[in-house]
Amino acid sequence: MDHSRPLWEFHVIDFPTSEAAGAVAIRMHHSLGDGVSLISLLTACTRSAADPARLPALPSPPPPRRSAPPLSAGALALAAWAWSLVALAWNTLVDVALFVATSWFLRDAPTPFLGSPGVEFRRKRFLNCTLDLDDVKLVKNAMKCTVNDVLVGVTSAALSRYYFRKIGETSSDKRKPRKNIRMRSALLVNIRKTPGLHTLTQMMDPSKDNAVKWGNQIGYIVLPFHIAMHDDPLEYIRQGKKTADRKKRSLEAVFTYWSGNLVVKLLGIKAAAALCYGMFTNTTMSFSSLAGPTEKVEFYGHPIVYIATSVYGHPHALTVHFQSYMNIMKLVLAVDDEQFPDSHQLLDDFAESLRLVRQAASERS
């Protein structure tokens, strides 16, 4: 972007599509803030469609994290809490070691998804489809997991469908996980003490103890994806939940955030950028999800039909974003145009995977 001007652009595209009468494309430099900050800013610029005099309703905050049991708790509860701390320390140590190795030399195996050198300079294509958030919640309730667990599982199912079709394998052994496939994503994690979406007034509070302050309050984790073909579509959700639960019992994201700040202070921004670039180069894709307003909103009197967020400029050929708004979940893919000439087929794989998972969960219920 032109650094002699403010690092944001606002484009009104007065052209009708199958979903809306027009579109607004907002391009902003990532130095201005992370996804939570920018979505909060966008939400502050809108008003409720039902009552234009008030701000939109935001998603309910997630339940608070479990704290230490009181001293009056039984010995079993205290022992379980102590063991969880030991597991947290061990998982963090292992994840940090793997993260550092990934930043330096540990590269994913070649797959149809892994970008080639220089992919960050090539043209990206952005494409999206609309998924039903109620379908995601139905699977969540049936499998007793979180929305993000479902999204990880559906992504794993979609990538598996695309992978095995791309390599042209049809034998029965493709149903077994491939141990030689190192398929990992760089996942951005909001490390604010109070997770979720917040009002802009809260985020702009200048007090030092503000737990939801504006800016780039994100850490990175390396999230592996399960590549296999299963007769039971819900197996992808089980594997996704297992992987996500393991990462939740680690402080990898907090470590990468604070260590990144430390590297900037001690060695400068170029050293920190080199480590970050190595992590992106040695992983296969980027993955992220964001929550949006839970009701229909208007932007200066114009009703917003959907919100689609994505990012580019990093060395990945594939970036997967999920953005919720009202009762829909928008899936946005950013792909290297040269590497994914069939990108719409990959998009269809996500929709079909959610349909199969939803059908299996409904039958189970």
The strand pairing partners of 27, in sequence order, are: 9
Reported as a single tens digit per residue, the pLDDT across 231-254 is: 899 999 999 999 999 998 999 999
Catalytic residue among 11, 30, 226, 314: 30
Reported as a single tens digit per residue, the pLDDT across 21-40 is: 999 999 999 989 888 889 98
Query: Rg of the Cα trace of the chain?
Result: 21
If one counts every other C-beta atom within 10 angstroms of the C-beta of residue 38, the result is 18
Walk across the sheet containing 285-290 and list its strands.
124-132, 328-336, 318-325, 285-290, 184-190, 218-224
* Res 145: pLDDT: 93
d(CA 39, CA 199): 10
Reported as a single tens digit per residue, the pLDDT across 193-231 is: 777 777 888 888 888 778 788 888 888 899 999 898 898
Q: pTM of the full predicted structure?
A: 0.89
Q: Work out the burial of residue 359: count CB atoms within 10 Å of its CB; fewer than 13 is exposed, 13-18 middle, 19 or more buried.
A: middle
The domain limits of the chain are 34-59+94-364
Quick one: average pLDDT of 115-128? 93
**Mean pLDDT in the chain?**
88
* Res 203: pLDDT: 84
Reported as a single tens digit per residue, the pLDDT across 264-308 is: 899 988 988 888 899 999 999 999 999 999 999 999 889 999 999
For 225-292, strand residue ranges (E) read 285-290
Examine the residue annotation and report whether 30 is marked as an active-site residue of this protein. yes
The strand pairing partners of 187, in sequence order, are: 221, 287
DSSP code of 336? E
Homologous superfamily of 34-59+94-364: Nonribosomal peptide synthetase, condensation domain (3.30.559.30)
d(CA 288, CA 302): 28
Q: How many residues does the chain have?
A: 365
**Please, how many CA atoms are within 13 Å of residue 311, restricted to the half-sphere of its CB?**
25
Q: Return the structure tokens found at 287.
A: 């993955």
Q: Return the structure tokens found at 280.
A: 């992106």
* Res 272: pLDDT: 87
